[in-house]
Structure 1
Amino acid sequence: MITLLLPVLIGTAGCGAGEKAPAGEAVYGQPLAEQFQAAAGATREAGTAAFVSMLTYGAAGGDAVQRARGSQDYERGTARAELGLDAPRTFPEGTLELLRGSAPKGKQVLATADDDVYVRSGSSAWLKYTPEAVNKFGEATGEVAGHAAGDAAPYSGTLADLVPRAIPREAPERRADGSRVYRVDLLPEVAGELLPRHLRGAGDAWGTESVGLTVRLDADGRLTSASADLAPVLAALHNQGMLLEVKRLRATYELTAFGEPVKRPFDDGEPVEDAVEVLASVDTLTRGRCATTDGTGLGTEEIVRPVDCADRHDIRVLGQVEVDRVFPGQPIIGSTDRYGKEECERADAAAPKDWRRGGRYADGFRVQGESEVSVSVAMDGDPGNGTETTVTGSYTCYLTVAR
């Protein structure tokens, strides 16, 4: 009996091995909870794709849209995208300025190559942020460094990063073209990672309401779109007094043109500058030095490009000041930054008078820095017997060019 059946079994196996697996079997043949992880692999295997990632802020005066549009090469770990923040004139001006904290005015081009990120504004040279630059300048580089190639895609900071972290619990809806649509939930603090870094201040106030995420995979199991209603994230921001004029917040991501040729991030002959060599933290600039924020890609005055004061610039440093105050037996109430401002007032008063002539600089000055508070308590617990509150800190005082 066995000798008769063996040839039949071998023949059956040989026939099956010659058949082509159904489209999407590598994804849809997996357990439901593992399909998003498999879809990430199927998407990478496409080799290349075009993408559009958007974060839309809806207000009474219209929508402000933060958009990245470009292409990705999964095999090479490279990407190129044009970035921009567009809003109608009727969008609330104060809120728009807050959003521009992560999106410098004008269009930018951003490219990634493994761990390095390149930024260019207009016809300027490419500015390269390496891991060394990120280590040197810290979190201030986050808006650029956060787009470095990741596990999910060569361009990070989109919903593509969050899809593999979600776990489907219900079978997807199958469409006539073989695609599947999944509806899953995300924790609000996870969805909050899509926000610009200076808006991620909700802390422990994210709340418990989940964020609804809709994911679409094509017939081959590749990610083609994802969208999320970030209302719970917006509610958390409102609780912190942020973006109060924004009534709707939504994130979307789309992939198309799988496998088609893509443009290289940039040409070998184009000039490239290293951020480590040409940028500086504003708190390292000495009195009288000038700098510009143009071309850094960061939308912040923390990291700047030092320039000659005869050239076009945005800021002029009044000085670096220190705060070191002791208050016997009394707690500190309110912001301690007021002591830094007082020191900056002295630096402003001591600045050469010709800096203010001609109306080049705006009235007043700006302050960056922070203080720490420490309290030493008397051994006998009597506040009046040796208890002291100490405030120490470092601040940069600087003028800004009048607009």
Structure 2
Amino acid sequence: MGTLKTARHRRAAVALLLPVLIGTAGCGAGEKAPAGEAVYGQPLAEQFQAATDATRGAGTAAFVSTLTYGAAGGDAVQRARGNQDYERGTSRADTGLDAPRTFPKGTLELLRGAAPEGKQVLATADDDVYVRNGGSAWLKYTPEAVSKFGEATGDVAGHAAGDAAPYSGTLADLVPRAIPREAPERRADGSRVYRVVLLPEVAAELLPRHLRGAGDAWGTESVGLTVKLDADGRLVSAAADLAPVLAALHDQGMLVEVKRLRAAYELTAFGEPGKAEGPSGGGEAVEDAGEVLAPVATLEAGRCAATGGTGLATEEIVRPVDCADRHDIRVLGQVEVDRAFSGKRDVGSGDRYGRVECGRADAAAPKDWRRGGRYADGFGMRGKSEVSVSVTMDGEPGSGTETTVTGSYTCFLIVAR
């Protein structure tokens, strides 16, 4: 009897619980998941990747990206400010380098190796990047043009749409590559603040390409990165102190007058309309960079070219023009360096031998090129050389140690300012 009574009580308990459980399940099915659950419900190590997805899910956003070089004379700031459309894979930003007059001039010239003087507008559409200076036509860098011109286009091509955002080359690219190890600080508004680290060679990807010369010598000290996600799990800001990267550059004799180096990124206006594209097909002129530009190393003696309006702060890629039109340079010729010295020698840079060859090209140029004072005294040159030391076995013909310098240079006259 006792056993049967217990069984009846159990059946009654189950019968009473079923309506409650069913009711609870039905109510949950109609409710939305808590804000940010798609991100904060993930394992800690996966939250940054989920945050990148959540950010893209906003559709659009405004952004500001900065790289700040601090010196005794003030801060030089490389800034990009604009809008991104994640769904269409497009972006548009005003870019430029701002520095006070007191900023070290030599260092500023080095920074301008990746930032042409004045403001420019940069837009991306998937793999294509558009650049416009002032009222000029849009200049379109396609993957084919980038392949044709090589590394010289790196600081423009590096902004093409990527996996993290339609405007690449910012901290947004590096956040999903960092792995949180400690739980974030939770703020009253539901946002989270994470403190993580990056390898210095990864953080160095934020630098202009010509400043990445430290190669494998970035050291082992980690770069601190602070990341903030909003209540919905979207990226709203990131900031990095690049002191370890700067220390490595100092060891290479680069940016020695810069004492502070910081990167920052901020997103706002999620989902709001914003101009996030380049030429819209509404009559704006577009030129294909691959068709209107050329490597200066391919121009024959006597050809003239404009170095501005390419979106690149280099004379490696130029716009060939008629010499009767406005131009910056006139090519003296292409020269080769091929020197050999017995023994192991510290010859330094091979540029001095290129300068000798360019001097000969200048002396041989038609005299009427310089008449009228159109060109400044002297000449410019662009190119590179390599120094190598070879050793052959004793007892063989020509045995011993030999130092060789080989290279190619373009020599040109510069229009007087």
Question: TM-score w.r.t. structure 2 length?
Answer: 0.91
Extract unaligned runs of 5+ from structure 2: 1-10
Higher deviation after alignment, 332-341 or 377-386: 377-386
Q: Secondary structure at the match of 1:255?
A: strand
Shift of residue 92, structure 1, vs aligned partner: 1.1
Return closer, same or farther for 1:392/1:91 CA change in 2, 3 Å cut-off.
closer
Cα displacement string for residues 27-75 of structure 1 (whole angstroms, at most 9, x for unaligned residues): 0011111110000000000000000001111111111111100000000
- Taking the aligned partners of 1:212 and 1:54, their CA distance within structure 2 comes to 16
CA deviations over 1:131-179 (Å, ceiling 9, x no partner): 0011000010001000000000000000000000001111111111110
Task: Find out whether 1:20 has 2:21 as its counterpart.
Answer: no
State how far apart, in whole Å, the 2-side matches of 1:43 and 1:397 are.
Answer: 49
Q: What is the match of residue 362 of structure 1?
A: 376
State whether residues 329 and 384 of structure 1, in contact with CA within 8 Å, keep that contact through their aligned partners in structure 2.
no
Alpha-carbon deviation of 1:326? 4.0
1:13 to 1:245, Cα distance in 2 relative to 1, 3 A: same
* Match status 1:66 vs 2:108: no
Task: Report what 1:279 is aligned to.
Answer: 293
- 1:232 partner letter: P
State how many pairs are aligned: 403
The answer to whether the 8 A contact 1:317-1:399 is kept is yes
1:347 to 349, 352, 361: 361
> What's the offset of the Cα at 1:370?
2.5
Sort the Cα spacing of 1:25 and 1:336 in 2 relative to 1 into closer, same or farther, 3 A: same
- Residue 284 of structure 2 corresponds to residue 270 of structure 1: yes
Q: Call closer, same or farther: CA 1:170–1:140 in 2, change over 3 Å.
A: same
CA distance in 1, matches of 2:397, 2:271: 72
Paired residue for 1:117, among 113, 129, 132?
129
Q: Is residue 45 from structure 1 mapped to residue 57 from structure 2 by the alignment?
A: yes
SS across alignment from 2:216: helix
Question: For residues 188-337 of structure 1, what are the structure 2 equivalents within 5 Å?
Answer: 188-265=200-277, 266-268=279-281, 269-328=283-342, 331=345, 333-337=347-351
Shift of 1:294: 1.2
Name the CA distance, whole Å, in 1 between partners of 2:252 and 2:388. Answer: 26
Counterpart in the other structure of 2:48 = 36
Note if 1:130 corresponds to 2:142. yes
Letter in 2 for 1:267: S
Instruction: Give 1:399 shift.
Output: 1.6
Indicate conservation of the 8 Å contact 2:82/2:276, yes or no: no
Deviates more, 1:330-339 or 1:260-269: 330-339
Alpha-carbon offset, residue 356 of structure 1: 2.2
For 1:327 and 1:245, locate their aligned partners in 2 and report how far apart those are by CA, in whole Å.
36
Distance 1:232 1:373, change over 3 A: closer
User: What amino acid is the match of 1:307?
Assistant: V
> Which among 166, 170, 176 is matched to residue 164 of structure 1?
176
- What is the alpha-carbon root mean square deviation over aligned residues? 2.0
| DSSP 3-state at the match of 1:205 | coil
Greater mean deviation of Cα atoms: 93-102 or 43-52: 93-102
CA contact (8 A) 2:84 2:276 kept: no
Deviations 1:62-106 (A, max 9, x none): 111111000000000000000011111111111111111111111
Is the Cα–Cα contact under 8 Å of residues 77 and 154 in structure 1 kept in the other structure?
yes
Is the CA contact (8 Å cut-off) linking 2:123 and 2:276 kept in structure 1? no
* Equivalent position of 2:110 in the other structure: 98
Q: Secondary structure at the match of 2:66?
A: strand
Please identify the structure whose Cα radius of gyration is greater.
2
Q: 1:21 to 1:315 in 2, by over 3 A?
A: same
Contact conserved, 1:329 with 1:383, CA < 8 A, in 2? no
Partners in 2 of 1:329 and 1:384 — Cα distance?
Answer: 12
Aligned to 1:20, the other structure's residue is in SS state coil
Work out the CA distance in 1 between the residues paired with 2:46 and 2:269.
25
Looking at structure 2, the residues matched to 396 and 35 of structure 1 have their Cα atoms a distance apart, in angstroms, of 51
Q: Secondary structure at the match of 1:228?
A: strand
| Percent identity of paired positions between Structure 1 and Structure 2 | 85
Distance (whole Å) between structure 1 residues aligned to residue 271 and residue 97 of structure 2: 29
